[in-house]
Amino acid sequence: MDQSLTSAPSRALDDAFHTMFERSRAEAAPDLAMRLDRLARLRAVVADNEERFRQAISADFGHRSAIETTIAEALMLYGEVRHATKHLKKWMAPQRIATALQFLPARNRLIPQPLGVVGIIAPWNYPLQLTLAPAIGALAAGNRVMIKPSELSPHFSALLKELVGQKFDAAEMLVTGIEDEIAKAFAALPWDHLVFTGSTRVGRIVAEVAGRNLTPVTLELGGKSPAIIDPSADLEEAAERIAYGKLLNAGQTCIAPDYVLVPEGSLQAFAEKVRAHMRRMFGADPANKDYTSIISDRHYARLEGLVADAASRGAKILQPAKPDDPNWKAHRKFPPTLIVGATEHMTIMQEEIFGPVLPVMGYREPAEPVAFINRHDRPLALYWFGKDRAARDEVLARTVSGGVTVNDCLFHFAQVNQPMGGVGASGTGSYHGEWGFKTFSKLKPVFYRSAFNRLADLYPPYGGKIARLEKMMRFMS
pLDDT in tens, 102-120: 788 899 999 999 999 999 9
d(CA 446, CA 7): 46
* pLDDT at res. 473: 75
- The answer to whether 254 is a known catalytic residue is yes
Domain 9-221+427-442 has CATH 3.20.20.100: no
Question: Which of 68, 73, 80, 220 is an active site residue?
Answer: 220
> What count of other Cβ atoms lies within 10 Å of the Cβ of residue 426?
28
pLDDT at 459: 76
pLDDT in tens, 84-106: 999 999 999 999 999 988 788 89
Chain segment 402-460, per-residue pLDDT in tens: 999 999 999 999 999 999 999 999 999 999 999 999 999 999 999 998 888 767 667 78
Count CA atoms closer than 13 A to 452's CA, side-chain side.
4
Give me the pLDDT at residue 81, please. 98
Whether the per-residue pLDDT at 352 is higher than 50: the answer is: yes
How many Cβ atoms sit within 10 Å of the Cβ of residue 42? 25
- Separation between Cα atoms, residue 324 and residue 330, nearest integer Å: 11
Which residue spans of the chain are classified as CATH 3.40.309.10?
A: 226-418
- Percentage, residues of the chain above pLDDT 70: 97
Kindly state the average pLDDT of the residues 24-52.
97
Which part of the chain has CATH 3.40.605.10? 9-221+427-442
pLDDT digits (tens, 9 = 90+) for 274-300: 999 999 999 999 999 999 999 999 999
Active-site annotation holds for 220: yes
Instruction: Say if residues 126 and 150 touch (Cβ distance below 8 Å).
Output: no
SS3 for 340-388, per residue?
A: ECCCCCCHHHCCCCCCCEEEEEEECCCCHHHHHHHCCCCCCCEEEECCC
Question: What is the domain class of 226-418 according to CATH?
Answer: alpha beta
Q: State how far the Cα of 465 lies from the Cα of 477, in Å rounded to an integer.
A: 18
Q: What is the pLDDT of residue 6?
A: 47
Does the pLDDT of residue 345 top 80, yes or no?
Answer: yes
Of the listed 80, 172, 240, 254, which one is catalytic? 254
